Amino acid sequence: MKKVYKLQDLDCANCAAKMEEAVSKIAGVQKASVNFLTQKMTIEADEGEHQRILAEAKKVIKKVEPDCIVLA
Amino acid sequence: MSKNKKRLYRILAAVILFAAASFIPQEGAVRFVRLAVFLCAFGIVGHDVLWRAVRNIAGGQVFDENFLMALATIGAFFVGEYPEGVAVMIFYQVGELFQSYAVDQSRKSISTLMDIRPDYANLVRGNFVEEVDPEEVCVGDIILVKPGEKIPLDGVILEGNTTLDTTALTGESLPRTAKTGDEIISGCINLTGTLKVRVTKEFGESTVAKILDLVENASSRKAKAENFITKFAKYYTPIVVIAAVALALIPPVILGLTGSGFTGALFSQWIYRALMFLVVSCPCALVISIPLGFFGGIGGASKQGILIKGSNYMETLASAEVVVFDKTGTLTKGNFVVTKIAPAADNIAEHELLHAAALAEHYSNHPISLSITKAWEEWLTTNTESEKTTSDAAWKPQTAVNNSADLDTANLFDKGFPAPKDVEEIAGHGVKATFGNHTIFAGNSRLMEREHIAYQEQQTAGSIVYIAIDHTFYGSIVISDEIKPDAQSAITALRKIGVKKQVMLTGDNRQTGEFVAKKLGLDEVYTELLPADKVDKVEHLFSEKSEKGSLAFVGDGINDAPVLARADVGIAMGGLGSDAAIEAADLVIMTDEPGKIAAAIQISKKTLRIVKENIVFAIGIKLLVLVLSAFGISTMWEAVFADVGVCVIAILNSMRALKK
């Protein structure tokens, strides 16, 4: 299942690429993409996993770009 | 205060302090004041960068641009280059400001592209109308669409007539008319009438949602150029940073050991050069401008009604060498029209022959019969008005007929459709219709032979109807699939932009296929193919093309899904309202115009060119400045230009892809 989250204050394109890589590495993520231009993150994972993955994604995103907030 | 404004004020304040500090002499106790003022300016303009650098290191993010900038500028202070430390930070922030502005701008223009998303739907609930989120509307619900509103969901008009603006979906500025019973597509703007619409698809399945999804997710199918940049960025920064460390340590040590001995000046000179490396080491210009360029290209294309499912397809399309067309529905309209009327004798006017045919065919529902009836009705509407006033000799049916076949058929050429005495459809042959004392035969050559009528064989491609009145041959009418008005120019345009071979595949008969191919000037044509044969032909064409060139297949998406999938790029025409086409193809042309194929290739080429320009320009400048810095030829100014200057220029260049 695919879920889309809006990313607020995503200001650095390189960071978006780093986030994409980091989020893709979270266990249970089948596919993740971070679109710098539309400021959206798409995560593909099993239905039940999304909540845990989102929490972890928030953490790694904070690490990459501390100002960036995931709106869920 | 917006983020950018705040940044602007900070830059201005720092510039003023910077100017003030420059007037303070460098000697004596006052030099500490100078340092203090510079530090103050530095703090004002760069505190956020410093803070983020510290925070990111704590988070394990080394090599990010904040860290590199902080290190470079603080380093400049340590080697005594206060003005440059401050100036670099000021320039970095100016660059960030530009960059942020450029990104905002492109985000804005992209969101105007996405503007087709409807915000609400007027749901009819009994006697009430309620404004709801389009996602809450179910299939079968009734919605109201007022003039000026976007159509929120796909549906069928229950009540009302209107014109629709489909510009956002097709790039077509001419409004379409829609009436009760017509299917309408979400994303169009209702211009004139109020409509009651029964919803046929939920929002997620509606055209507008599909298009939005497609454009937004296009960036997840990355082009080779994008993957290259991602990889490049991954290695580039660490390599440059390591090179900077090496540059700061190795040359001064070697020089110190071999020559003048170790001095502070020697070290600070090489540290300064190393700091320039750090400034240049950020790959931002590439990381941001390449996807932006592709996104702009995809966005610009969708403005013209061309949906591209990913930037990888742009790359493939730009190198299109062979374009393979399906005939029906792609190059031709897929409808049947009268294309030639050939009376048997000079004194029979074309419209008389047409009328005779129409009288006989009027009662049949066969597509060929319908097209003859339609042609006659069209002739009537365009000619009855002027007929009375002009002396056009063409409209003298009675005399003409009387002379030619010696028939008393004046009443037969009454402009309506008189009820026939008897109509007989002869399966596989045609129609025999009797009016008064006369019998009209209309059908294929077999009918003529069966009735022992002497006829002239018609050699033109298409379906041929022979007409005879009372066993006297009267003429023939050719009906063929109409070639789309812009098919010819589309093929010329494709050849012009470098497509080497254009091939047509069709299931139609050889005569028709070859006729269309010849008329349009296609290089090759294969006829009488079954769907599976089409795949074989495409395989064959694959083996003939060059390694680098790609093969594009253009079809209407209805029964050519296997070929669409097999081609390097599958292009579906007339995607508006056709789910099959949107699903099966890599590229969807929303309108029926084959001319858009050339447009799509051109957009792809332009986008690729922009992307390549950016890659060469950004990497070139960076390498150049790295070399110059290593030899001490360039200064910190060039380094800052190679970072933010290049980035801003690359972004501006990328934004060209969005424009036509």
Considering CB atoms only, which of A11, A36, A39 is closest to B291?
A36
- Give the model confidence (pLDDT) of B433-445 as tens digits: 888 778 888 888 8
Three-class SS string for chain A?
A: CEEEEEEECCCCHHHHHHHHHHHHCCCCEEEEEEECCCCEEEEEECHHHHHHHHHHHHHHHHHHCCCCEEEC
B219 interfacial to chain A (CB closer than 8 Å): yes
pLDDT at B283: 79
Distance from CA of A37 to the nearest CA of B (A): 6
Q: Which residues of B563-594 are buried (b: 16+ CB within 10 A; e: fewer)?
A: bbebbbbbbbbbbbebebbbebbbbbbbbbbb
Report the C-alpha gap between B36 and B42 in whole angstroms. 10
- Give the model confidence (pLDDT) of B552-601 as tens digits: 999 876 667 788 888 899 998 876 656 666 777 889 888 888 899 999 99
Average pLDDT of the residues of chain B: 82
Higher pLDDT, B242 or B418: B242
pLDDT at A18: 83
pLDDT-based confidence at residue B345 (cuts at 50, 70, 90) = confident
* Coil, strand or helix at B42: helix
A11 interfacial to chain B (CB closer than 8 Å): yes
If residue B332 lies in a helix (H) or strand (E), which one and from where to where?
strand B332-343
Range of weakest confidence among A3-7, B203-207, B342-346, B387-391 = B387-391
If residue B320 lies in a helix (H) or strand (E), which one and from where to where?
strand B320-326
Distance from CA of B233 to the nearest CA of A (A): 8
Going by C-alpha positions, the residue among B114, B140, B141, B115 that lies closest to residue B130 is B141
User: Which of A1, A35, A37 to mutate: most B Cβ within 10 Å?
Assistant: A37
* CATH code of the domain containing A60: 3.30.70.100
Considering CB atoms only, which of A12, A37, A66 is closest to B106?
A37
Range of weakest confidence among B15-29, B264-278, B567-581, B603-617 = B567-581
What's the whole-number mean pLDDT along residues B507-517?
A: 82
Number of Cβ atoms within 10 Å of the Cβ of B377 = 13
Residue B550 CB partners (closer than 8 Å, separation 6+)? B316, B317, B319, B320, B321, B322, B568, B569
Number of Cβ atoms within 10 Å of the Cβ of B610 = 23
Considering CB atoms only, which of A38, A63, A66 is closest to B110?
A38
Catalytic residue, from B326, B481, B560, B568: name it.
B326
Going by C-alpha positions, the residue among B301, B288, B302, B323 that lies closest to residue B605 is B301
What's the whole-number mean pLDDT along residues B518-534?
A: 87
Give the helix ranges, DSSP H, for B59-166: 65-78, 82-113
Name the DSSP class of B158.
Answer: E
pLDDT-based confidence at residue A63 (cuts at 50, 70, 90) = confident
Q: Tell me the C-alpha to C-alpha distance, in Å, between residue B539 and each of B101, B110, B567.
A: 49, 38, 9
Range of weakest confidence among B43-57, B316-330, B423-437 = B423-437
What's the whole-number mean pLDDT along residues B533-543?
A: 89
Report the C-alpha gap between B614 and B286 in whole angstroms. 7
Going by C-alpha positions, the residue among B80, B70, B86, B90 that lies closest to residue B281 is B70
Nearest Cα residue in chain A from B217: A35
In this prediction the ipTM stands at 0.78
Is B556 catalytic? The answer is no
Pair B569, B312: CB distance under 8 Å:
no
Q: Which residues of B touch A14 (CB under 8 A)?
A: 64-65, 233, 282-284, 287-288
CA angle B541, B546, B547 (to 5 degrees): 110
Residue in the block written with tokens 């999304």: A50
Q: Tell me the C-alpha to C-alpha distance, in Å, between residue B59 and each of B64, B298, B609.
A: 11, 36, 38
- Give the model confidence (pLDDT) of B164-199 as tens digits: 888 877 777 778 888 898 888 888 889 888 999 999
Distance from CA of B17 to the nearest CA of A (A): 28
Nearest Cα residue in chain B from A62: B59
Are B107 and A39 inside 8 Å of each other by CB? yes
Q: Which residues of B185-203 are buried (b: 16+ CB within 10 A; e: fewer)?
A: bbbbbbbbbebbbbbebbb
Residue B448 CB partners (closer than 8 Å, separation 6+)? B441, B455, B466, B468, B473
Structural domains in chain A (count)? 1
Enumerate domains of chain B plus CATH numbers. Answer: 3-111+221-292+608-658 (no CATH), 306-331+484-590 (3.40.50.1000), 335-480 (3.40.1110.10)
Going by C-alpha positions, the residue among B556, B575, B513, B564 that lies closest to residue B534 is B564
Predicted structure pTM score: 0.74
Q: Which residues of A touch B233 (CB under 8 A)?
A: 14, 17
Higher pLDDT, B31 or B11: B11
Report the C-alpha gap between B92 and B636 in whole angstroms. 11
Domain that holds residue A17: 2-71
Are A66 and B55 inside 8 Å of each other by CB? yes
- Give the model confidence (pLDDT) of A8-39 as tens digits: 888 777 778 888 888 999 988 998 888 887 78
